[in-house]
Amino acid sequence: MTQSSPILTTHGLAKAYGARRAVSDLDLEVRPGEVFGFLGPNGAGKTTTIRMLLGLVRPTAGRVELFGRDLARHGDELLPRVGALVEAPAFYPYLSGRDNLRTVASVLGRASATRLDQVLELVDLRGRQHDRVRSYSLGMKQRLGVATALLDDPDLLVLDEPANGLDPAGIREMRDLMRSLVAAGKTVFLSSHVLAEVQQICDRVGIISRGQLVKLAPVSELMAGSGEFEVRLEAAAAALVLVRRERWGATARIEGGTLVAGSPTGRGWALLDFLVRAGFQPDGLLERRVDLEDTFLALTGTAHGALN
């Protein structure tokens, strides 16, 4: 597999439970060195998909390729290169973080002190490694869970809702951890309902609804500008009259005292130039961008509460 080849690919992946199809014809591609967001409302098929990616559930149809090879045929060789955190991690509360990690590592047969030091450093728990896990915050427990997934030094991490239940500080810590893992050469497949974080950390996202892929695109594309700009200026009403005389300004309007309008060329500077030449003095301009949550809701037809 070349460096630019996909780390993970699914081809027509499907899973049915009797007459119910949980996942249908799913085609995904995860590239090396990216954080790939996997999104969908409750019951969309995210967990079923993740279990198929990890060889925990056998597909009804289609196949999974890891590192360019068929998972069904080469799972014993491929899965050690994948670290996973699926569902909330369970630890011995009376043991320290390091001892919990050592217990997991001993099962894997690779409990070297050097590797324990490395993963504790990666998840920023070196300073609390000897404290009992029962004293850990939820965010620390989640990071310790990621540490267990890193023990085998995997190339791909599959993380299912790692920020679930975290407070803002814990979410920020998890975001920083994702960035550090990518900087260390890992690829991350991230399932999450915290869309504000997905928007900040993911390079591309795949969105599924009712078991089917409805969008696969870079986050930047999903948040692309709407072609409109918000302009702050004192004489907004007078500027609106002038802008509406132009073909490109037909939908211009005032919202909360701010002029919202398109541009002669689609670029913000052209709108500012037009207003300045007409004698107005704008105080500021902001491009209107689409929020990932709005895009998600439009594609899946769900209410916000269904994200959780």
| pLDDT tens digits, 234-243 | 999 999 999 9
Give the sign of the dihedral formed by CA 219, CA 221, CA 227, CA 233.
positive
CB 181 within 8 A of CB 22: no
Question: What is the CB neighbour count within 10 angstroms for residue 155?
Answer: 17
pLDDT at 305: 46
Q: Would strands 20-30 and 225-232 be described as parallel, antiparallel, or unpaired?
A: unpaired
Which CATH number fits the domain that encloses residue 112?
Answer: 3.40.50.300
Q: What is the mean pLDDT of the chain?
A: 90
Hey, what are 263's tokens?
């541009």
Strands 284-289 and 225-232: antiparallel
Domain count, the chain: 2
The C-alpha atoms of residue 116 and residue 64 are separated, in whole angstroms, by 31
Question: Is residue 300 situated within a structural domain?
Answer: no
Count of residues making up the chain = 308
- Are 84 and 107 contained in the same domain? yes
User: 105: Cβ–Cβ under 8 A, 6 or more apart, which residues?
Assistant: 111, 112, 115, 116, 151
Sheet with 204-209, edge to edge strand ranges: 82-85, 156-160, 187-191, 35-39, 204-209, 212-218
Residue 126 lies in a domain: yes
**Do 215 and 271 fall within a single domain?**
no
Check whether residue 37 and residue 181 sit in a common domain: yes
Q: Which domain holds residue 277?
A: 225-289
Based on the domain organization, do 249 and 188 belong to the same domain?
Answer: no
Task: Assign 3-state DSSP to the chain and report helix, strand, coil percentages, each to 5.
Answer: 40, 25, 35
Predicted model pTM: 0.80
CB 182 within 8 A of CB 34: yes
Which residues of the chain are under the pLDDT cut of 70? 1-3, 110-111, 225-226, 302-308
142 & 247 share domain: no
Rounded-to-10 torsion of CA 223, 221, 177, 169: 0
Quick one: pLDDT at residue 1? Answer: 52
Q: Are residues 116 and 131 in the same domain?
A: yes
- Do residue 150 and residue 269 come from a single domain? no
d(CA 174, CA 168): 10
Distance (Å, rounded) from C-alpha 215 to C-alpha 276? 40
Helix (H, G, I), strand (E, B) or coil at 150: helix
Q: Among candidates 143, 148, 162, which has minimal Cα distance to 104? A: 148
